[in-house]
Amino acid sequence: MNSPVEFNPDEWVIDSNDRTSLSIKIKKRLFYEKSPYQTVEVFETCDRGKMLTIDRMVMCTEADETSYHEMLVHVPMQTKSSIKDVLVIGAGDGGTIRELVRYENIATITMVEIDEAVVRASKEFLPNISCALEHPKLKLLIDDGIKFVQEAADNSYDLIIIDSSDPVGPSEGLFTQSFYQDVYRCLRATGLIALQSESPSFNPKAFVELNHCLKGVFGKDKVHCYLVFIPMYPSGIWSLTYASKSGISPLSFNRDRVLKFTQKHNLSYYNGDVHQSAFALPTYIKKMIGEG
């Protein structure tokens, strides 16, 4: 065949496993820091706006981040209208917080991010994503989320969002049964969780194991996987998971309320049809998680 195709790292960022690789063309690097936990970088891409990576895994691009952040937050928030106290683990770029502060019914948001470099880089270079990180309802702690939930009081949150990177490095402990047992304990009786739960195509093992782990903690019929198109994550198919302590269906949202909310806030990805449809899984994915 021909000579090798070279991806010059001044021109391309590569998010890869050993079988599939997504390369995104960049104009320049804006931020680089080896924190105690990981390598944090921000790039100016050619056509996806600015992009945050951790250990060269794409966390978000300005062009696509709404799909992830809107679906992670509005699915649980529209399902239960009485959420007051929210705990967020991870979420250093701030996109999840930006979506949460749209809700007047929320009284407190506690965010626990382990790496202040992610917060600092996002505040400086991703203002459209990090814009709510100074919000008065937010208590932002730079701390270990695993330790935080171990020490948190029982029945203290209505919603816990786990907005983590992949299960390597500091996020590894966020994919364990003991972590989710603590999460479960901290939730109020009608509490909900929503989390990033990996790609059934790019990370099938982590996707399946996490689903199994969550069903072990919450009960099989209280855990619901849903899918989001994220073009700048490798494979483009990504899962989030909703679970509830009391069995509230994620499809029990109020269509009129959703319509008013999405129009008022001019959302980019989320709408009522998408909320419902995201839970319709292709048959092969249902089979992967024992639902087919």
List contacts with its own copies (CB under 8 A): 1-10, 12, 14, 16, 18-25, 29, 45-48, 64, 66-67, 199, 201-202, 227, 229-233, 235-237, 262, 267-271, 273-274, 276-278, 280-284
Nearer Cβ to its own copies, position 129 or 217? Answer: 129
Question: In sequence order, what are the residues at sequence separation of 6 or more whose Cβ sits closer than 8 angstroms to the Cβ of residue 182?
Answer: 146, 149, 150, 152
Cβ distance to its own copies smaller for residue 9 or 247: 9
Sequential DSSP letters for 151-182: HSPTT-EEEEEEE---SSGGGGGGGSHHHHHH
Measured from the CB atom, the residue of 24 and 174 that comes closer to its own copies is 24
Residue (66 or 110) nearer to its own copies, CB: 66
Q: Which is nearer to its own copies, 139 or 287 (CB)?
A: 287
> 72-91 in b/e burial notation, b at 16+ Cβ within 10 A?
bbbbbbbbbeebebbbbbbb
- CB closer to its own copies out of 37 and 233: 233
Q: Give CA separation, 136 vs 109, 128, 139, 271, in Å.
A: 9, 18, 8, 27
Residue from 64, 93, 158, 163 carrying the catalytic annotation: 163
166 is catalytic: no
Query: How far apart, in whole angstroms, are the C-alpha atoms of residue 91 and residue 130?
Result: 10
Residue with tokens 């049809």: 273
C-alpha to C-alpha distance for 273 and 289, rounded to whole angstroms: 24
Distances (CA, A) of 292 to 168, 196, 207, 277, 288: 29, 22, 16, 17, 8
List the structure tokens of 277: 């449809």
> Do residues 55 and 38 touch, judged by C-beta distance below 8 A?
yes
Report, in Å, the least distance between residue 14 CB and its own copies.
6
Residue tagged 């952040």 (tokens): 69
Shortest gap between Cβ of 223 and its own copies (angstroms)?
Answer: 17
- Nearest partner of 97 among 84, 109, 85, judged by Cα: 109
Residues with a known catalytic role? 163
